Amino acid sequence: MTLTRREFLKTAAALGAATVWSLHAADIARVFSAAAAGEVHTIWFQGASDSGCSISLLQGARPDLIDAITDFKLSVDFHPNLMIPEGDAAINVLRDAADGTQPLDLFVLEGSVPAGNFGTVGEIDGKPVPMETWIKQLASQAKYVVAVGTCAAYGGTPGAFPNPTNAKGLQFYKYEKGGALGADFRSRAGVPVINVPGCPPHPDWITLTLADVLQGFPPHLDSYQRPTAFFGRVVHDQCPRLGYFQQNQFASKFGDLQCLWKLGCKGPITYANCPAIKWNRGINSCTWFGSGCRGCADPSFPDSPTSPFFKEIEAVPAPLGIDVNMVGETIAAATAIGIGAHALRRFARKGRQKTTTETAKEGA
């Protein structure tokens, strides 16, 4: 049975985000299986990185996606942690993609881009090749470019003050557009860099975004080029302690139940759906277990205004007109609607073939 968009959204709201994933796991698995069969060529490159984003991906929280993630791992032509080739064979994979000999459908960067010879990968004719050189050449050949993690997107920890290596994100340095590739960069598909920030990003953010672009349907992006399905609302709006904030009740020490803003929570300035999607198989997130948001998905991380971590930010939004009781399951259901709409739009092939009249009726 094929659901209309309206019916699907009602189902998503009623059953929650986990059901959305179970409904579309087969579609996602098919995308990654096609990649594993050699139909899609992907390079996952690490710049200045600690490999935390790769670890996050491989620890995906949805059991019904384990096989899909395994397929994706096998499909990657180059990944310094996972690939079988080594030495010249590995470097030749990069060379063939960088010069266009081998088509490159998807270029994924994990880690920031250090300038010049501060980071190198392999050698050509006995000379070390800078990370920056590889990254620019590979990005220029790729149909789609995805920055996974705050480092790749905005500079992150390697780009923190005083930034001796002049490390940047692919198309941003913190809030400033430009980065290593320049503000006007577009991939071969005519799309800017797609940023999936976080330190590390949630595995579901990575998986769904990569599934999108592997099908040729890049997600809708905000002004910092983040998928709005995951980064459309600030953490503060979705926090289980929102009611305390609206009552002007603030924790004075960790362990208190009230709002954590005065203890340094960066939820009011950080766009991410962590409190709704949660981590570790949907068990917890920073604001749920009482630490407060550290702002790791914000372009400024780990510099001001996301630091100092345990000092309150100078400005906090006034109460946003949200019902004090809108916490917990209600917030999760709202987020499920957003994820559901995203999944339906990208994965339901039959839905994309509907006539203009049918679409207009559904939107009524």
Mean pLDDT over residues 108-120, rounded?
A: 95
Helix (H, G, I), strand (E, B) or coil at 127: strand
pLDDT for residue 47? 95
**Band of pLDDT at residue 239, cut at 50, 70 and 90:** very high
84-103 pLDDT tens trace: 788 899 999 999 999 999 99
Q: Considering only 19-23, 56-60, 74-78, which range has the smallest mean pLDDT? A: 19-23
Better-predicted residue by pLDDT, 151 or 54: 151
Question: Where is average pLDDT lowest: 192-206, 215-229, 350-364?
Answer: 350-364
270-302 pLDDT per residue, tens: 999 999 889 887 888 998 888 899 999 999 999
Arithmetic mean of pLDDT over the chain: 79
CATH number of 18-231: 3.40.50.700
| pLDDT beyond 80 at 258 | yes
For the cut 50, the answer to whether the pLDDT of residue 1 exceeds it is no
The bridge status of strand 172-173 relative to strand 176-177 is: antiparallel
Are 94 and 101 in contact by the 8 Å Cβ rule? The answer is no
Contact 283, 315 (CB under 8 A): no
**Are 137 and 98 spatial neighbours (Cβ–Cβ below 8 Å)?**
yes
Q: How many CB atoms lie within 10 A of CB 69?
A: 21
Instruction: Calculate the CA 117 to chain-centre distance.
Output: 28
Q: What span, in angstroms and rounded, lies between the C-alpha atoms of 216 and 210?
A: 10
Amino acid, single-letter form, for residue 340: G
Contacts of residue 46, defined as CB under 8 A and 6 or more positions apart, other chains included, come to 54, 80, 81, 109, 110, 111
pLDDT of residue 325: 34
What pLDDT is stored for residue 34 in this prediction? 64
* Segment 170-191, tens digit of pLDDT: 999 999 999 999 999 999 999 9
Q: Give mean pLDDT, residues 312-338.
A: 44
Considering the chain, what percentage of its residues have pLDDT values greater than 90?
Answer: 53
Task: Please name which of 2, 1, 5 lies closest in space to residue 363, comparing C-alpha atoms.
Answer: 5
> Looking at per-residue confidence, does 36 or 164 come out higher?
164
Give me the residue spans of the domains in the chain: 18-231
For residue 114 the two structure tokens come to: 């250090």
Both tokens of 358, joined, read 């049918």
